[in-house]
Amino acid sequence: MTLLETIKSPHDLRKLPESRLPELAADIRAAICAQVAKSGGHLAPNLGVVELTIALHCVFDFSFDRLLFDVGHQCYPHKLLTGRLPMLPGLRTREGMAGFPEPRESPYDLFSVGHAGTGISTAVGMARGDTLAKEGFDPKTNPAGRRVVTIIGDASIANGVAMEGLNNAGTLKRQFLVILNDNGMSISKPQGALAHYFDRVRLSQAYADLKKSAKEALTHMPGGRRIKGALHRATEATKAAVSDSNWFEHFGLVQVGPIDGHNFQSLLEVLREARDTDRPLVLHVKTIKGKGVTFAENDSSRFHSPSPFTVDGDLAEEGCRVELKSEGRSFTTAFGEAIVSLMERDPKVVACTAAMPDGTGVSKALAKFPERSWDVGICESHALDMMAGLAKTGFKPFLAVYSTFMQRAFDQAFQESALQGLPVRLCLDRAGLVGGDGAVHHGFCDIALLRTLPKAAIMAAMDEPSLVAALEFMRQYEAGLSSVRYPRDNVSDRFAGSPCPPFQLGKARCLTPGFESFDADLGSPTPDVAVLAFGTCAITACEAAAELAAELRVAVWDARFAKPVDAELVQELAARKVPIVTVEDHGVVGGFGSAVLDAAAAGPHPCPSITRLGLPDAWIYQDSRGRQLAEAGLDRASLVKAFRAAAAASDARV
């Protein structure tokens, strides 16, 4: 039995002698690495916070005190220390442990979080709430009260919400600890002036030189050997005064550090002092992303959130070989190549991402066109505003961002792009259901948000040729904002042998031969069911239609546009009284199906039977993408049943 297996709760952890903590840290790293190799997940971020997490649970009692994570993908060690080791084999599935903090799992998780920048603000709220309830810690009036700790890292400190939180945290009149986990990385290399500032602090020799000189001097002083033992504690508390500058103190917070985030003695000593302070404090902790696993340390971007992998050799050895399992050609890869092709053909095309160059495929553009592409860090709102500025100067900006993170920049999409009539182009990766990352990352509301914007052109790609065609349409679309969405999935080759027609504003593409025209003179048949599918759902709809070919005439269209929808097609189907089924990997509330309903209601014919299939008005938690689609009724078997039901209901009405 490993030492980790004996830890059922932080209460067991606090019984351990400090000398055994490195052994526990090694067990945690081994357990995380072994599981992520099987299931995929966030590896390097979690390896980097093992000692920090152990130390926090040694010093604080988070069954009573408050611990809030920012981003959340650094929570695996926390979960293993709070009784969830038995859930680790089911990591990122419904039966097992979520990859982000999840209050449904444990009272030790206070918020379900996967977006950056929010931790400080929610912690401020809890600190104020505890104070109002007379439960907050105060060294004089309530020494048994609750403490509040929030961990922020992976460069999310530069996020605008984090800045707002810091600004308000400085007004607190009580204990409040912000731990800056500074690993010198974001998801990839951090960007911006603030990142450069922390680089200077990390590299500064001022503190190290002072500490070395002081130790040498103390050796020759009367009583110096006794004083020398207290030097570490004293210098850690004053380190901010000898570093480059006290940046956080401009927000009204005391700054301590940087300290070594992998040294238990330093961590425990400073955390014990910080635990009992009576004012807001920032502890700057220097860690190594991927710590303890050589390949993750050497390539922490690649192993930030890898797919399953195999390891040949010792994890801690430099020579071990790692092979990521191949998952086929992804939409992300297809987009990365397509945007480079656009930039090669059109010098006005520029590209941007917000801390996700690898995750969105923009890394290819950054490498080939560094002067026309940017990674702005975890700053989606700034990114969209910057793209609007580029559009104003005549460039053709493409912003590649996960659908779930685009939500954070909707105000900029409205005001700086749509309202100005500026053609900012949004490329929404990870649209729809995202699999193991779960509810915090699903892209379920981008259509509903963007449909509200006048002159917006809202598209979806069903495969690689349609993604390329959509990007070409966007390059030429100048009337307003445009977007294309595509999932975290591999591209289908079902239509690889068929030419992909160019996108035409508000026009769908028929995917089932024989139903391209409704011209009765040409003998065009009337389908039993018409399926308008948005995005990759069109591929699944074609599979379901093929399965029903012997009993029903199911016509499938790749809708292409959610705004403007193909109103002419919808109204022609209404005129023929053909039942319509809409299919989308998006929430049914305000999505593509709602747009079809609007188009049908606006036409001259009675509204036909319209069945809307999409994500339900409920949360869908972590699991494989395939199982999530089945849960939402969007897999092939579910579509077969839905198409049959739509045809039967229409027959009953007749």
Q: What are the Cα distances from residue 140, in Å, to 32, 145, 174, 175?
A: 41, 11, 11, 12
Q: State how far the Cα of 85 lies from the Cα of 216, in Å rounded to an integer.
A: 46
214 Cβ partners below 8 Å, 6+ apart? Answer: 231, 235
The answer to whether 597 touches 612, Cβ cutoff 8 Å, is yes
Q: Which residue has the tokens 């903090």?
A: 101
Q: Which residue has the tokens 């193991």?
A: 436
CA atoms within 13 A on the CB side of 291: 26
Cα-based angle 418, 410, 100 (whole degrees, multiple of 5): 155
Q: State how far the Cα of 474 lies from the Cα of 561, in Å rounded to an integer.
A: 12
Closest CA to 307 of 101, 135, 92, 478: 92
The alpha-carbon radius of gyration of the chain (Å, integer) is 28
Closest CA to 168 of 94, 234, 97, 118: 118
The residues annotated with a catalytic role in the active site are 289, 380, 408
482 Cβ partners below 8 Å, 6+ apart? Answer: 423, 424, 425, 426, 456, 457, 458, 459, 473, 474
77 Cβ partners below 8 Å, 6+ apart? Answer: 28, 32, 46, 49, 50, 53, 54
- Partners of 64 in the beta sheet? none
